Structure 1
Amino acid sequence: MVEHQDTQGGPVPADELARAWDEVVATARRTVAEGLVVGTSGNVSARVGDTVLVTPTGVPYDRLTPDDAVGVDLDGGQVLGSLRPTSELPMHLAVYRTTGARAVVHTHAVHATAVSTLVRELPLIHYMAAALGGAVRVAPYATYGTAELAEHMLDALTDRTACLLQNHGTMAHGTSLAQAYDRTAQLEWMCRVWLTAASVPGLSPTLLTPEQLAEAGERLRGYGQR
């Protein structure tokens, strides 16, 4: 992989691009292995300087090699590789242009996609919603790969790090691919919990109040090792 010129801070070292591409491919394969994606239905990207490394359209992830790296600039112009980037590139670029995200994961996870067809916002079934910024919104449906879908997604992501896409799937971003993937998995898990609880005949799941979610959010800020 060759060195690539970055408009902000000079050239991006080839080894840095290579490591990031390896992580993009590994994350994409993980989405399939852990059941969040079937075939090539999702996509993954990472930002290195002003270059966005992104999975190509229609290529099974287990076939991708270091020589298959695909990179675009923030305007969508291809600067690396010969394979065409994912058809969902407008959503990825919209996230990078408007947030400090360094990674994006998009899936068609089963439970999350099912929830996206039922409600306009995932009910507050669990306090981990606070880790995503609050109640997870559902972006209204638009045809995949369009600027309209990217606009709907950005609205749903306001003050959030993840959202659902109506009749489509999930979108999550983070400061790393590990974080973006974890947020995706947490969202799918919460959707599964809500669907499971809501399916019990004659009973309705208890939900958290906004105040309870806010309190959990405060505690989560201090969670983990320092």
Structure 2
Amino acid sequence: MMIKEKDLIVCYGKRLIDRNLTTGSGGNISIYNREQNLIAISPSGLDYYDTKPEDIVIVDLDKNIVEGNLKPSSELDMHIIFYKNRDDINSIVHTHSKFATAISCMGWELPAVHYLIGMAGSSVGCADYALYGSKALAENALKAAGDNNAALLGNHGLIALGDDVESAFSTAEHLEFVSEIYYLTKSLGEPNIISNKDMADVMKKFGTYKYK
């Protein structure tokens, strides 16, 4: 089942390691097939370079395992809550990238210190801390993301959202860059933040602006 989605998760899981967005088996990736109403998600605790397509777990929105012999990611609730509440989201990439995690450990939102944040929104909110794998964390992440395509997870990491896994991964990677820039500029002083008006222009150009 979902052979294409399984292959993509294996591929992008290795990229998480190669691009220094996580270590070991940290983080997770999922793809939602809305036609089948099924989620393909990386398994819990398995190194990405040891993960094979047959290790990817297929679940439904009620967390029933439809296919797979391994346990799905411990953050399954967080993936499901977005797929249930955001009809524009078909893939999620959760990272433990160094600089985004550092910002989350400060409990800060990530502001528009660089225009590339527009892939996610005019800023990226930080969810209140909750135990990993808990429903509380899922609810906090959904609230922090709002209409945006990402959220920091307090003292934990980053969650990036996309129409497909390519866009979700790209958002995660670019937000790590923006987080590093924010870290560096904060060490120099107070960074110059791009205005909401100017960020709206960026997001319209990116196609990420949410019209209300």
**TM-score (normalizing by structure 1):** 0.87
Q: Which residue of 2 aligns with 1:214?
A: 200
Residue deviations 1:8-56 (CA, integer Å, cap 9, x gap) = xxxxxx4xx1111010111111101110011001100111221111111
Task: Give the match's secondary structure for 1:76.
Answer: coil
Q: Summarize the alignment of residues 1-226 of structure 1 with structure 2, pairs less than 5 Å apart.
A: 14=1, 17-48=2-33, 49-100=36-87, 101-200=89-188, 203-221=189-207
Structure 1 distance, partners of 2:135, 2:99, is 25
Residue deviations 1:123-146 (CA, integer Å, cap 9, x gap) = 220122222122100001000000
Task: Give the match's secondary structure for 1:45.
Answer: strand
Aligned residue identity for 1:82: N
Structure 1 distance, partners of 2:192, 2:55, is 48
Structure 2 distance, partners of 1:82, 1:109, is 28
Structure 2 distance, partners of 1:79, 1:90, is 16
Aligned residue identity for 1:164: L
Structure 2 distance, partners of 1:59, 1:119, is 29
Compute the displacement of 1:60 (Å). Answer: 1.0
Q: Which residue of 2 aligns with 1:11?
A: none
The alignment-based identity, stated in percent, is 33
Give the number of equivalent residue pairs: 205
Structure 2 distance, partners of 1:178, 1:219, is 19
Greater relative CO (CA pairs within 8 A, separation 6+): 2
Residue deviations 1:188-216 (CA, integer Å, cap 9, x gap) = 1100001011112xx32211122221222
**TM-score (normalizing by structure 2):** 0.92
Structure 2 distance, partners of 1:96, 1:121, is 23
List runs of 5+ in structure 1 lacking aligned partners. 1-13
Tell me, yes or no, if the aligned pair for 2:111 and 2:123 is still in contact at 8 Å.
Answer: yes
Moved more, 30-39 or 64-73: 64-73
Aligned residue identity for 2:40: L
Structure 1 runs of 4+ aligned residues shifted over 6 Å read none
